[in-house]
Amino acid sequence: MDVMFDTEIKSLLQTDPAAAAEKINTFIERQNNTPLNIAITGETGSGKSTFINYFQRMTNDDAGAAPTGVTETTIDVKEYPHPEYPNVKLWDFPGIGTTKFPADTYLELLGSRKFDFFIIISDTRFRENDVKLAKAIQKMKKKFYFVRSKIDNDLQAEARGKRNVNEQEILQKIRNDCIQGLQDEGFESPQVFLLSSFDLHLYDFPLLHETLERELPELMRHALLMTIPNINLEVIKKKKKALQAQIKYYAAGSAAGAAVPVPGLSFAVDIGIIVTAVTHFVVSFSLDIPSLKKLANTTGVPYDDLKKVILSPLAAVKITSELIMKVLSQLASVATLMAGEEVSRWIPIIGIPATMAFSFAGTYKALSHILNMLAEDAERVFKRALGLNSSE
């Protein structure tokens, strides 16, 4: 985050703690609620709705999932807010080129709303309508990404009746075929991402995520990271790093609350801030109950088996003040800091500044410890869901 912002917060904590608290709350709110609108387009049957569902950590049968089927199931542009982060929306477009939505009408529809980027999905070579779509998006000066879907089906078809199959050769052949077709249509250096919506951790989805990370503005990049499924251990590490960067602002908010000379209020503020932050951590790592149940449904690993590898008392439960206080009471260093916070407020002259310092340190230490526990749980759940050994 901008050094000037950090300097401003430090100055306000010394001169106007209430203003500092307001500015911190606005910053965290903006970070965690930045709108991100992703348009999913392509021809009928290309796998748009399935992609949306699995990106949203849903199965096709879940309530609220995008409808899927062998015939055209999307008859109008429909938004699908992320279940945990509704600021991130995936927009499902009808299949381009159908009788209900001929290409020209479709392109008008495309430009009628503001989208941050487009994903063009095809389950074969990219056809004429896909190219029209991409060129129209180019004219709007928006980013678009070609996704070749249903790669698992292609690999199964290639392997049928054969003893030795080189998966990488098949994937490269499909990729080259798609790229060549796009080059023939006038795209100089097209990049095509191969994926299976049922196995986002395989093939090119991690590469697609890395590409989006490079090309999106900072706040949108953060929004995407928090909502993306845990497709590999690297994503979990990135989430942890991003959440760790927020902890100093939660702690600064805690220090601002400590400046109010009311006995017991500072402790209550600290607990409230920690509850808010930990709830955010748990959801970001997909360790909340709904997310774990969805993971069980999509992977076939029983929910109870996923819960067995969780060691933190703060995952797969409702986060309450009572639970947070119970966890913190078991952390000697944090309990000491919080005790010092209340005692120091009665010291003449330096009491309030000391209380603020204790409050900052206690909240920072508590959240850092909890974040480490939850990140380790997320890694264990990921490995269990994919049937990996702990050493892999």
CA–CA dist 365, 344 (Å, integer): 18
Give the pLDDT confidence of 82-141 residue by residue, as tens digits: 988 999 999 988 776 655 666 666 666 666 568 899 999 998 888 887 888 888 888 888
The pLDDT tens digits for 177-219 are 899 888 888 888 888 999 987 777 889 999 999 999 999 999 9
pLDDT in tens, 227-248: 998 989 999 999 999 999 999 9
For the entire predicted model, the pTM comes to 0.86
The CB density around residue 378, as the number of other CB atoms within 10 Å, is: 26
Question: What single-letter DSSP state applies at residue 100?
Answer: S
User: How many Å separate Cα 253 from the centre of its chain?
Assistant: 24
Containing 88, the helix (H) or strand (E) segment is strand 88-92
- What's the pLDDT at 209? 92
Nearest Cα residue to 109 out of 78, 73, 69: 78
What are the structural domains, with CATH classification, of the chain? 3-32+232-385 (no CATH), 36-227 (3.40.50.300)
339 pLDDT exceeds 70? no
